[in-house]
Amino acid sequence: MMKSPMLALAAIAGLGPLSAYAVEQSDFRRLTQPDNHVEVGIRSVSEGSDRFGRYNALYQDGIFLVLGLEYLVRPRFDEPAPMAFSISARDLGLGNRQVVLRMGRQGRFGLEAGYHERRFRGGHGLVTIYDRENRADLRLPADWQPAANTSGMNLQLSDLHEFSLAQRRREARLAASAVPAERWQLSAQVRQEDRDGTSMLAGLFGNSGGNPRAAFLPVPVDYRTRLFDLNLDYGDRRRQFRLAYHGSLFSNNEPQLAFANPFSTIGGWAPGSGYPEGHGALALPPANQFHQLSLATGWQLRPALHLSGQVATGRMTQNEPLLAYTANPMLAQAIVQPLPSVSLDGRIDTTAVHLRLSGRNLSRLTWNLSYRLDDRDNRTERREWVYVGGDSQLQDTSPTSSRRRYNLPYDYRHQRLRLDGQWRLDERTRLGSAIQRGRSERSFSARDRVDETLLELSARHRAGQRLQLGAQMLWADRDGSRYDGAAGFLAGHDPGYIDTLAGQWASLPALRMLHLADRRRQRQALSANLTPHQHWAISLEAAHAVDDYRNTEIGLTESRQEALSGTLTWAPSRELSAHAFYSWERLASDQAGFSFRGGANRLIDIADPERSWEVDHRDRIDTLGAGLQRYLLDRRLQLQLDLVHAQARARQQVTTGTALTAEPLPTVSNRLDSIMFRASYRLSDPLSLHFRYWFERFRSDDWAFDGVGPDQLANIILPGESADNYRVHIVLLSLRYQL
């Protein structure tokens, strides 16, 4: 039977509007309805790399499950007692999995429970001489051959034990909120994080500038942190209050680490300090607590004037048992002056104040006046300690002993006053400015007081419909009280020992610490946003910054930073968009130093200008990339491509006086290339297919890692870490079903 041509044409013509209507309806649902879906698939990782997977849990090669769920039950707007429920589950097939459950009734109560697991990987090719059967007591092999330095030891990789800096964090969270009365809300939250794995420290033996020996140690990590929050809120149209409590309890199931001495007894060590009798011990992070009460408020004083503030007071405590002066039984028997206390009994009282007054005048000027205070009052008792140097000497209690020390309970107080504002000259131009004054005070520090004044200026101008310009300037000057680099050293040692020192200092008097030194900072930045066509946009930025440590003779004397960046965007339609970017950054810093020997020679050495040295650091970082996004087949198919290339180079040039010699250092370079391709296809209204391909390659040329074995240094057994160059391909294929 022959069909009517006109009827067929009418049917075909009707397909277009119906298809477009279906797409519009689908887009409307995605914008107005919850994205409830379940996702199942597989992920393939071609190569294991600790560096690549240090935060994303993709550090092993193999096939992994892709499993996720997003589900939200949202009540209708006209329900008399609306209840909401949601569950979110992400990355269930990886080590960085997360599950969150929420439910509640609007205006009544809310409940939340969550679990989050994260993994970290670090280090590459790490090895240790120690047997790790007992992680808290590191022992040497039964056939260990000690020596005075690494050249006499058997440090072949085949005889060593591999380990990695792998850590896992597991956090469980419970939260609840309730509205007991109008304008009031009570909320509480409890979190517990367990952290386990391995970190790394160096264990030291020795007691002077000439006889120390060290070995890097795998350190057990077994922490637990409990966090508690309780809030009471009140709010109306003009006033808001919050009374809050925060508590933090930290515990460590491995509070100390014992380790055997792999070196034989050498000159300057007491008998029995070396292998096999010699042992050392390190205290690991101690259990501690922090409790804080705070009151926050906000007041709408006038329609154009608002006041807010927060006051908090807290207390930190730590009272873990102290380790003995030495872990060596033979040296412990010779102790004549024991520990002054079995624990630190540490206590720090904290006070924090933040006040802010905001206003608006004449609809053109907006301004903010703020004040901050951060005060830490250290109430820990100051005691005398006569320690044993590096588990290698008998206790020296003589009046001139360098081992007689006093702990320094540091106090800290920082205040900042700031006034900033914006002035709208007209519809196209806005000006901004800020002035800030800060003061920091520290006890037992090279500088009791540090003051800094800061001034900022900015301008934004819209030069027509297609061009916007911006400029920023910053100037800051830091100075303070008289600089005394020996203040902490003198406060921590006994006068009987200090009187024996030539010059009575440990570090050079002309040395200035970075965070305390006089500094003059300047920064300028320019930006432009251009829209030459409705489909095109261009953004350009340039910045220049200089830090001048104008009164520093030894230390960091100057640092400079220059940066350029640009972005090009093209979006001709809703179905097609692309972008490209490039950034260039150059970092430069100048450092001055001085080499001096110990004892009486140091007074002679510091008068010799030929013992000075300088280092010029020059770094350059280039980053470029591009991206493309395309919708096809009535937006049922989505394609996305991202490309990134980054390269960094670091150069150090060392110059010395004639009394010193220095070898040139090789240039360090790193290179990263990344390709990310995503595709998703909607098979039907509820079902979609997702594909992802990720390629990443990293190459490093670093003399600090390349070819550095465990025996590279004579007096330190290194972990043998090497640069983790990798080339990883990841393929993901999954199905997502809309619920």
What is the distance, to the nearest Å, from the Cα of residue 439 to the centroid of all Cα atoms in its chain? 25
Q: What is the pLDDT of residues 163-204, one digit of tens each?
A: 999 999 999 999 999 999 999 999 999 999 999 999 999 999
437, two tokens: 């004054």
Mapping DSSP onto H, E and C, the string for 420-445 reads EEEEECCCCEEEEEEEEEEEEEECCC
> What band does 7 get if pLDDT is binned at 50, 70 and 90?
very low
Q: How many CB atoms lie within 10 A of CB 724?
A: 18
Q: What is the pLDDT of residues 372-395, one digit of tens each?
A: 999 999 999 999 999 999 999 999
Mapping DSSP onto H, E and C, the string for 657-712 reads CCCCCCCCCCCEEEEEEEEEEEEEEECCCCEEEEEEEEEEEEEEECCCCCCCCCCC
What are the contacts of 466-470 at 24+ separation with CB within 8 A?
466/530, 466/531, 466/532, 467/528, 467/529, 467/530, 467/531, 468/528, 468/529, 468/530, 469/526, 469/527, 469/528, 470/525, 470/526, 470/527, 470/528
Give the C-alpha separation, 212 to 156, whole Å. Answer: 23
pLDDT of residue 3: 39
Give the C-alpha separation, 181 to 165, whole Å. Answer: 51
Tell me which residue of 152, 342, 136 sits closest to 256, measured CA to CA.
136
Contact call for residues 423 and 364 (beta carbons, < 8 A): yes
pLDDT of residue 605: 87
Q: What is the mean pLDDT of residues 685-690?
A: 96
**Terminal C-alpha separation, the chain:** 44
> What band does 23 get if pLDDT is binned at 50, 70 and 90?
very low
Q: What is the pLDDT of residues 198-257, one digit of tens each?
A: 999 999 999 987 899 999 999 999 999 999 999 999 999 999 999 999 999 999 999 999
Q: Is the pLDDT of residue 641 over 60?
A: yes
Q: What is the pLDDT of residues 250-279, one digit of tens each?
A: 999 999 999 999 999 999 999 999 999 999
Q: What is the mean pLDDT of residues 290-301?
A: 98
Tell me which residue of 229, 203, 228 sits closest to 218, measured CA to CA.
203
pLDDT of residue 30: 57
Return the SS3 of 143: coil
Q: What separation in angstroms does the CA of 324 have from each of 281, 311, 661?
A: 9, 41, 42
Tell me which residue of 422, 308, 420, 416 sits closest to 362, measured CA to CA.
422
> What band does 14 get if pLDDT is binned at 50, 70 and 90?
very low
Q: What is the mean pLDDT of residues 655-664?
A: 93
Q: Is the pLDDT of residue 16 over 60?
A: no
Q: Is the pLDDT of residue 20 over 70?
A: no
Give the C-alpha separation, 310 to 243, whole Å. Answer: 10
pLDDT of residue 603: 84
Picking from 31-45, 86-100, 626-640, which range would have the lowest pLDDT averaged per residue? 31-45
Map tokens 């009827």 to a residue: 7
Q: Determine phi and psi for 30, rounding to 5 degrees.
A: -65, -30
Fill in the DSSP letter of residue 150: G
pLDDT of residue 208: 87
> What band does 19 get if pLDDT is binned at 50, 70 and 90?
very low
Q: Is the pLDDT of residue 31 over 60?
A: no
Q: What is the pLDDT of residues 443-494, one digit of tens each?
A: 999 999 999 999 999 999 999 889 999 999 999 999 999 999 999 999 999 9
Return the SS3 of 104: strand
Fill in the DSSP letter of residue 394: -
